[in-house]
Structure 1
Amino acid sequence: MYKIMLCCSAGMSTSLLVRKMVEAANERDLSVQIDAYGVSEFDMQFPQYQVVLLGPQVKYMLKTLSDKAASLNIPVQPIDTMDYGMQRGRQRPELCSVADPSGALRGVEMSSLYQSMIAVIEQSITPLAGRLGQQKYVIAIRDGFTAALPFMIIGSFMLVFIFPPFSPDTTNGFARGWLDFSQHYREQLMLPFNLSMGVMTFFISVGIGASLGRQFQLDPVMSGLLAFMAFLLVAAPYADGKISTQYLSGQGIFTALITAIYSTRVYAWLKQNNITIRLPKEVPTGVARSFEILIPVLVVIATLHPLNLFIEAQTGMILPQAIMHLLEPLVSASDSLPAILLSVLMCQIFWFAGIHGSLIVTGIMNPFWMANLSANQAALAAGTVLPHVYLQGFWDHYLLIGGVGSTLPLAFLLLRSRATHLRTIGKMGIVPSFFNINEPILFGAPIIMNPMMFIPFVCVPMVNAVLAYGATRLGWLSQVVSLTPWTTPAPIGASWAANWTLSPVVMCLICMVMSAVIYLPFLRAYERSLMKTEVEKAKNSVPVAETVS
């Protein structure tokens, strides 16, 4: 059986192409197995396959992944942008030998303006994004937060039971009963929240340590546990038989990042320099591995613990408190409108270059978002004003409605397009767009590296950001207090993130209308160019009878 691995940022959009390829294989009676994975799973999965196909949004990782797969002689090939966008499973060379004929869009796609833009992007933007996207520490931080996400989502979900979305003065029987129940059993209901969101740094530190350890060819379990111990050593002071939990949630996030990276680098350096306890070959591997970690544990304790004691003696603050004090201006700046617009602009430009900008931007912003989310949840529990606006729920449900570029309204417009190609893309992309997966539209229309769609693609989420931020500051829009899956449809996810209030639903609808208004004129101009090309191609395909003089 021929085994094919498709790889993109999270394995979501490639799974759509997998279905098409499987259908084509079944029609041709081909014995193949085709699976989709995210790039974070590449190292564990690729040895099982004969070929790896890489989505265009992570094409910048081609060399790195090819070098890894070369040891097993497994080829890594990029998927053509148009094949990916059009979900052309039947035209992949791995499944049939018939080359895919270029459609009418090729004439537009390969224009001189298009080629010039590609040259500029490839020479300037792509190398920068490639370096950022493949940076070991960015990858480790992203993987750490991804590993912690399920625990934090479930913990956040408990908030609606602990703090029902009703006024304390309500007379509604159901609402009154819910409020009374939550107040009577608040201590019991808080337990799952405190052991998930309240100790988010546990999951994050283990995840970062394991991911970074894997990149340094270390045992990921041991490197994850070492990172966990390093964090506890400085962030969980023990006194009077009790461990303080003050820095185990959002306030300790930056300490968790620093200690996880430090402890794993110590482990890697000691191993690379053969500073380790070696046991005879007769000793079982598991026992030998446990002895290998002894010196790294000793070094981490011997460095971090005295450092923590010294900082406390000099400043009266332990390490996580000192780090938060130093980073306070940066954390405050991350919650400002300029920070929102800058992060959106970076994401959109990277995506326009065909690079998964969301992966890069969220990897950088996640520590700030989680610290701010923890502060909002603490304020909710205390009954005080929520301090922060820019959190992951704000990013997912106001700026990325239907996916990057807020393309859900565009998907509806495509369904009514006069251009056959765009109508086809609209039909293919509308359902995934409800769940914020829009690669069929990005690569199929295409929007990626399409000069005619650059302005609305960049401007739409920035306009939405200004609207949502302004409405929040004016007190019209409820703030985010919960973590939600990014695939949750925007109006539902926005309401869920704000503890099921209605104002986020209204804001999502306003943002969708505004997005449609901005996209429409640019889409019409692009539509006219496509229709002209389609008409010319149709004329050229009609055989012309020769005249005999």
Structure 2
Amino acid sequence: MDGFVQFMEEKFVPVASKIGAQRHLVAIRDAFMVTMPMMILGALAVMFNNLPIDAFQNFMASIFGGEAWKGFGGSVWNGTFAILSVFIAFLVAYNLAQGAGKDGLAGGAISLGSFFALGGALGMSSTGLFIAIIVAIVSGELFIRLIGNDKLVIKMPDGVPPAVARSFAALLPAMIIISLFGLVAAIFAAFGIPDIVGAFYTAVQEPFMGLASTYPSALLIAFITPFLWFFGLHGANMIDPFMQTINAPAIEANVTALAAGDVAPYIVNKPFIDSFVNLGGTGATFGLIIAIYLVGRKNKAFNVVNNLSAAPGLFNINEPMLFGLPIVLNPIMFIPFILAPMILVSTAFWATKLGIVPAATFMPPWVTPPILGGFLATQSISGAILAAVNLVISVLVYIPFVKISVMQELKREQNA
């Protein structure tokens, strides 16, 4: 195991670090971090309108008459999920430009104009996320290169306010970039594709979401995040751009299908992973905390770290455990840290696939404690029960390795 760790440190970690710091992925990740409060609010509005309790639905209908009471939730949805792609189109380009030392506001505004020029008004909701990201990256890169070209700068006389000078500095790059996307839209329209966003969603994004919702992909997601964390790399941040592009459309599609009485098409999404797999954080480390309380009391160092990690772990913050125990680069903990999430994702996937538990249609805040998160994500008691069962499984997976760690530590103390 020591040889494996040394090999991975030398060969894998440098490559993974470069991927994690790749500026386009960082820009996408940071953009979705900004939109997270709006996504949670939109999910709350959806849950409010579609709470599967007949007594609640009948009570609201009797007070407000018919479906009128759902107007509030619908309005909140219009201000969140319905314009999610607009936020992303602006924020990704903004982050790219800022990272390159350019005018982030101008870069974001030009990207937003380019998105609408390409037909973004037809795909402002989560269905247009892929197109929004592509437009933001392309327009952002063009802006970074054009804004530094002296031939494209309109010189303003001295005394002109800086804000006015900056707007004129971005004038010609904006005209070129937005016109370019308008030209692309015109070419597609000439070939009989007026709705580029809709066509792209049908041809690429929807099949991609279906692929990402398979059991092998669920296993891969459960594996890759703790694997990266074992080497000290923030695995959740590194795969977040991938997860977020399928997240909002998948939740939206699940809600629509369930409202129509159909089977939810997408099992794997962020609330699914957060509520049933990452119990206490990546690696299901709340199970490790309980396991140490059960069988690790003889190790004083474990107890100190465990007591400090328990409260944050309840809210899925496990950095104290990852670096304090530690789990990072700990060969003994490597196996359960990888194994536990893969077992949990298997039980959760098949419980959902077989209809034992409803699909995740609501995105609780990622700091929602285990079990409660399962209830909120699925809006059902069965979701809470599944989360509880998975928590017990994680404890059982960690117990043998905690015992081994305690035995080794006791031997070291005796030798010392």
TM-score by length of 1: 0.71
Q: Which amino acid aligns with 2:389?
A: I
Q: Which consecutive aligned stretches of 4+ in structure 1 deviate over 6 angstroms post-superposition? A: none
For residues 64-120 of structure 1, the C-alpha deviation after alignment (integer angstroms, 9 at most, x for no partner) is: xxxxxxxxxxxxxxxxxxxxxxxxxxxxxxxxxxxxxxxxxxxxxxxxx64x44421
- The residue number in structure 2 matching 1:262 is 138
Q: Compared with structure 1, are the counterparts of its residues 188 and 366 closer, same or farther at alpha carbon in structure 2 (3 Å cutoff)?
A: closer
Please tell me whether the aligned partners of residues 125 and 353 of structure 1 are also in contact (alpha carbons under 8 angstroms).
no
Shift of 1:261: 1.0
Matched, 1:475 2:362: no
The equivalent of 2:81 in structure 1 is: 197
Partner of 2:42: 155
Q: How many residues align?
A: 410
Kept in 2: contact 1:249–1:374 (CA 8 A): no
What does 1:258-407 align with in structure 2 at a 5 Å threshold?
Answer: 258-274=134-150, 275-327=152-204, 328-407=206-285
Superposed CA deviations along residues 428-471 of structure 1, whole A, max 9, x for unmatched, are: 11111001111111112221111111111101001111100001
CA pair 305-298 structure 1, distance change in 2 beyond 3 A: same
For residues 321 and 415 of structure 2, the distance between their equivalents in structure 1, rounded to whole angstroms, comes to 24
Q: CA deviation at 1:353?
A: 0.8
Question: 2:388 matched to which residue of 1?
Answer: 509
- 1:488 counterpart letter in structure 2: T
Task: Say whether residues 1:412 and 2:286 are aligned partners.
Answer: no
Is 2:59 the counterpart of 1:177? yes
Whole-Å separation in 2 of the counterparts to 1:319 and 1:277: 34
Q: Deviations over 1:334-360 (max 9, x none)?
A: 111111111222212111111111110
1:270 partner letter? L
Q: Which amino acid aligns with 2:241?
A: G
Instruction: Report the residue type matching 1:211 in the other structure.
Output: N
Q: Which has the higher helix share?
A: 2
Partner of 1:3: none
The Cα offsets for residues 352-409 of structure 1, whole Å up to 9 and x where unpaired, read as 1111111101122211222212322333454543211111101111111001100101
Q: Indicate the residue corresponding to 1:220 in structure 2.
A: 104
Looking at structure 1, the residues matched to 255 and 112 of structure 2 have their Cα atoms a distance apart, in angstroms, of 24
Q: Supply the distance in 2 between the matched residues of 1:376 and 1:203 (Cα, whole angstroms).
A: 22
Structure 1 residue identity aligned to 2:284: S
CA–CA separation in structure 1 for the residues paired with 2:73 and 2:262:
20
Distance 2:89 2:289 in 1: 39
1:399–1:465 contact (8 Å) kept in structure 2: yes
How far off its partner does 1:315 sit?
4.0
Distance 1:481 1:133 in 2: 29
Contact 1:389 1:480 in 2 (8 A): yes
Question: Aligned residue for 2:413?
Answer: 534
Larger radius of gyration: 1
Distance in structure 1 (CA, Å) of the matches to 2:92 and 2:60: 39
For residue 491 of structure 1, the aligned residue among 371, 376, 388 is: 371
* Equivalent position to 1:209, from 80, 87, 93: 93
CA contact (8 A) 2:348 2:386 kept: yes
Which structure has greater strand proportion? 1
Q: Secondary structure at the match of 2:58?
A: helix
Matches within 5 A, 1:425-444: 425-444=305-324
| Structure 2 residue matching 1:229: 3-state secondary structure | helix
**Contact 2:61–2:69 (CA under 8 A) maintained in structure 1:** no
Distance 1:218 1:424 in 2: 47
**How far apart, CA to CA, are the structure 2 residues paired with 1:254 and 1:175?**
35
Give the conservation status (yes or no) of the 8 Å contact 2:119–2:185. Answer: no
